[in-house]
Amino acid sequence: MVQHSDMTAKMAKGHGFIAALDQSGGSTPKALKGYGIEESAYSGDEDMFGLIHEMRCRIIRSAAFTGEKVIGAILFERTMDGSVDGRTIPAALIAKGVVPFIKIDKGLEAEADGVQLMKPMPDLDALLARAKGLGVYGTKERSVVNSANRAGIAAIVKQQFEVGRQVLAAGLMPILEPEVNIKSATRGECDRILKEEILKALDAMPGSDKVMLKLSIPETPGLFDALVDHPRVLRVVALSGGYSRPDACKELAKNRGMIASFSRALLEDLRAQMSDAEFDAALGAAIGDIYGASVDKVSA
């Protein structure tokens, strides 16, 4: 049986990246359309979630999807509760050497002070207990920074760390994701303020626990080096944030110590209509590109 400490070691030092397979309600139709399934092909949420589940199962089954290059995967709650070939999804991932995470946020509040906080999560403790029981290692929770408002960014960081403490108390590893909108007119300043606020929060953490961070690739390469090196950070991972895979990989490769946690950039070439051989080849190519950008760094 894989121990929590083994998963921690893989997250801290493993060569590879984290696959984000956590598209939820609002983003599922777009993900299915990208996969070649139009909204006219299904009726209602159950059909929709069944199709996205089968897409994720096809990815997990693929010979290209192994722990050699994909060290972790983030799941949507319904995916975590599902199964593939008679195994729970977390167990199937662990069997392939992939560390499972669960997306726990319930979406975003309306924008205020240039940011979108996470909606309340009243049932979080029950979800965390269920996830731990299924062998899940950690969580991911997303909020969004749209403009360089320090009060708003400080509020986002405060909320992220509060949720992170709740996750740690449940025995899981939190990935804190205060995403900077890469289309923001003040993106560079957002990056700088966010880094300062995260460093303050890290320095104020009690005890010896660590967190992970999932951040937009900074406009200025190397800006997040201090976060990568911080003793309370297990790993810094990057979201693709709307970049195409070639652009996301190019920008990520300029940032030492940051590995990918891509969703759309991982899945963009996959289609439901592909043969298994075509599907495995396309997924393998994407995994190879993203692995390379996570492991082989270049000077900016």
The alpha-helical segments, DSSP class H, found in 96-211 are: 124-133, 150-169, 187-203
> Which residue matches tokens 């996470």?
118
Q: Give how far Cα 70 sits from Cα of 15, 67, 106, 182, Å.
A: 8, 5, 26, 25
**Does the annotation count 179 as an active-site position?**
no
**Does the annotation count 214 as an active-site position?**
yes
Per the rule left: phi > 0, alpha: psi between -120 and 50, beta: everything else, 199 is alpha
Q: Do 118 and 143 touch, CB atoms closer than 8 A?
A: yes
Q: Which of 177, 179, 197, 251 is catalytic?
A: 177
Q: Beta 87-88 vs 83-84: how paired, if at all?
A: antiparallel
d(CA 62, CA 116): 36
Q: Give how far Cα 198 sits from Cα of 153, 186, 191, 212, Å.
A: 9, 18, 11, 11
Upper half-sphere CA count for residue 185 (Cβ side, 13 Å): 2
Q: Which residues are tagged catalytic?
A: 177, 214
